[in-house]
Amino acid sequence: MSKFILAIDQGTTSSRAILFDDKRAIAGVGQKEFTQHFPQDGWVEHDPEEIWDSVVWSVRKALKEAGAKASDVAAIGITNQRETVVIWDRATGKPIHNAIVWQDRRTAALCAQLKKAGHEKLVTRKTGLLLDPYFSGTKVKWLLDKVKGARRRAEKGELAFGTIDSFLIWRLTGGTVHATDATNAGRTLLFDIGKNQWDKQLCALLDVPMALLPEVRDCADDFGMAEESLFGAPIPILGVAGDQHAATIGQACFEPGMLKSTYGTGCFALLNTGADMVRSKNRLLTTIAYRLNGETTYALEGSIFIAGAAVQWIRDGLKLVKEASETGPLALKADPSQHVYMVPAFVGLGAPWWDAEARGAIYGLTRNTGPAEIARAALEAVCYQTRDLLSAMQKDWKGGGDTVLRVDGGMVASDWTMQFLADILDAPVDRPTILETTALGAAWLAGMKAGLWPKQAGFAKAWARDTRFEPDMAAKLRKSKIAGWDEAVQRTLTR
């Protein structure tokens, strides 16, 4: 009997494949980084072919590490970087252009134009989103307008659009399935999250032919069969969710009021609001947390574009460290008397500011400022931004109860960072025993659909905490630090 579940976690800087055994323990891992392309200031692209190759390589590596064959795998779950756009030829499967990444800001002027024309209220009412270059829809329009012949071919039905999950499903199934799930569809600016369907009015507004769009399915659903030629045996694809939604599931945040924050390239906090589609008054996003058995659970989301990416910049750009893991120990050496703030607006500022034109800045530099102070400022910035998100959420949602934040992602391995997070939030922070919660969420969707893993209640019961970080900072110091951060942000905003 097939006993493994394979999670494909296609992220912003690398692709990972994780094989979970029948006890939901990690049996094998494959991971491969791929190239980041920056054609112009604020533009970010990926080569879809390189992404595809990295996924196939990672799956084969995970199988090999586990000593498993494809026939031992019961199902595949896919989770992906959201909002990143690919358009490909239906006949050949070849992309017509590089993927435009969620961080990309090239459509800022178009978004500003649509706002000025008064369209944002309609877009927000239907999608829960704002008119920002972050989301997929304006990227699709850009590709159709800029790639020669693309619009004509799209209108004739010769091209297909998808976020990365759709592109992988198409490739895995040999072009037999063009589909996505509700969480990814809900981030395109083209999907009505109340009616759970593509919206003709929004597609017309962004000039996107509906012939381009994939079919939208539940998060736990039949997405076709991965071809035998890829891994040695056909494997059903039974789960799909965007990375932040998969992490919400992996953290077992199934009850209204439960809150998680994932620290990867960016940082994304989701608050489960149940069947209630809460409309934010503080420029947060209303989003689909997940859709199971046709029933939609909603969430409030705050999006920070740069989190772990700031650590990457310290490593690769400034070359202050050789490994990202060295940043925490370096920050410990910082002079506590220096008040250095980094506002990492490398690709604009996300929630609750939504300033696409803002750019990164460091404040409070002195002649004594060195690598340790800059490292500390980068890590602290993630925590300050999380506080901004949670503060906005508490104003929007009156569900009550004390906040406990469940955290995951690469940065949470740093005890120093997590303690500062608890201190600045003045709330407990829980780090789980399994940090690969995004992959775990995708695996649960597939494993549950395959009938091998427990339903929601059983899965939630198995969630285990590794460490709780309790706040331990004097209120006066916390207030002073937050005031300094707020001033730094105000100086960085362009409007």
Percentage of the chain beyond pLDDT 90 is 71
Q: What average pLDDT does this structure show over 426-449?
A: 92
* Mean pLDDT of the residues in the chain: 92
What pLDDT is attached to residue 175?
95
409 vs 341, more confident: 341
pLDDT of 2 strictly over 80:
no
Expressed in percent and rounded to 5, the helix, strand and coil fractions of the chain are 40, 25, 40
4-243: in CATH 3.30.420.40: yes
Tell me how far the alpha carbon of residue 348 is from its chain's centroid. 16
In the chain, where the domains are located: 4-243, 252-432+464-495
Local structure of residue 86 (DSSP, 8 states): E
What pLDDT is attached to residue 111?
94
For β-strands 405-408 and 259-263, DSSP reports them as: parallel
399 vs 149, more confident: 149
- Report yes or no: 71 and 232 within 8 Å, Cβ to Cβ: yes
What pLDDT is attached to residue 241?
97
Tens of pLDDT, residues 46-66:
999 999 999 999 999 999 999
CATH homologous superfamily of 252-432+464-495 equals: ATPase, nucleotide binding domain (3.30.420.40)
pLDDT of 400 strictly over 70:
no
What pLDDT is attached to residue 404?
82
H or E, element range at 29? strand 26-33
Tens of pLDDT, residues 99-139:
999 989 899 999 999 999 999 999 999 999 999 898 999 99
Neighbour tally for 490: CB within 10 Å: 10
Close Cβ partners of 267 (under 8 Å, ≥ 6 residues apart): 261, 303, 304, 307, 382, 385, 386, 409
pLDDT of 240 strictly over 80:
yes
Residue 303 three-state SS: strand
For β-strands 159-163 and 215-217, DSSP reports them as: unpaired
Q: What average pLDDT does this structure show over 413-435?
A: 90
- Report yes or no: 135 and 379 within 8 Å, Cβ to Cβ: no
What pLDDT is attached to residue 355?
84
pLDDT of 392 strictly over 80:
yes
| Max mean pLDDT range (72-81, 250-259, 380-389, 453-462) | 72-81
Confidence of residue 320 (pLDDT cuts 50, 70, 90): confident
Q: What average pLDDT does this structure show over 235-253?
A: 94
Confidence of residue 7 (pLDDT cuts 50, 70, 90): very high
pTM for the whole thing? 0.86
- Mean pLDDT lowest among 189-203, 219-233, 273-287: 273-287
- Mean pLDDT lowest among 77-86, 190-199, 268-277, 395-404: 395-404
114 vs 349, more confident: 114
What pLDDT is attached to residue 399?
65
H or E, element range at 200? helix 200-205
Q: What average pLDDT does this structure show over 456-470?
A: 91
pLDDT of 401 strictly over 80:
no
pLDDT of 1 strictly over 60:
no
What pLDDT is attached to residue 168?
97
Q: Which of 40, 39, 7 is nearest to 21 (CA)?
A: 7
H or E, element range at 389? helix 371-396
What pLDDT is attached to residue 31?
95
Confidence of residue 402 (pLDDT cuts 50, 70, 90): low
The domains spanning 4-243 and 252-432+464-495 adopt the same CATH topology = yes
